[in-house]
Amino acid sequence: MDRIFIENLNVQTVIGIYDWEREIKQSVSLDLEMEFDIKRAAQTDSIEDTLDYKAVCKRLILFIEDSDFQLVEALAESCAAIVLADFPVNWLRLKLGKPGAVRGSSTVGVIIERGTPAV
């Protein structure tokens, strides 16, 4: 099956378990890989026949900017649920990173897969 991807979508949000993290916005980075059959879009060359990745980004940015999670795990799960519910995607892989969370590391986070891939 074909996949449409989004890499390094950076969004500012409240995220973290420490008191000081609850008072500021921090950056999170999102990578998405979404299963979607692109054959029809390739034939018609029409946005109506594909997964509109700009619409996916806008939806996630609005949600993440307004969110207030403690854990990246919870934020990742909610983002995956939104994509699966709001867009014609049956399976996705989502990587959510929190840059600067651990000294000496460029980023830390989670990678999750949700949905049922096509056979």
Tens digit of each residue's pLDDT (9 = 90 or more) over 4-19: 999 999 999 999 999 9
Domain holding 109, by residue range, is 3-115
Q: How many domains does the chain have?
A: 1
Spot the catalytic one: 25, 39, 58, 98. Answer: 98
d(CA 94, CA 104): 24
On whether the CB atoms of residues 51 and 89 are closer than 8 A, the answer is: yes
**pLDDT at position 69:** 97
Q: Does 119 score more than 90 pLDDT?
A: no
**What is the tens place of the pLDDT at every residue in 64-117?**
999 999 999 999 999 999 999 999 999 999 999 999 888 888 999 999 999 998
CATH of the domain at 87: 3.30.1130.10
Q: How confident is the model at residue 118 (pLDDT cuts 50, 70, 90)?
A: confident
Structure tokens, 67: 């969110």
CB neighbours (10 Å) of residue 5?
11
pTM: 0.94
Per-residue pLDDT, 52: 97
pLDDT tens per residue, range 25-79: 999 999 999 999 999 999 999 999 999 999 999 999 999 999 999 999 999 999 9
Contact (Cβ atoms closer than 8 angstroms) between residue 10 and residue 27:
yes
In this predicted structure, what is the pLDDT of residue 101? 84
Residue 39 annotated in active site:
no
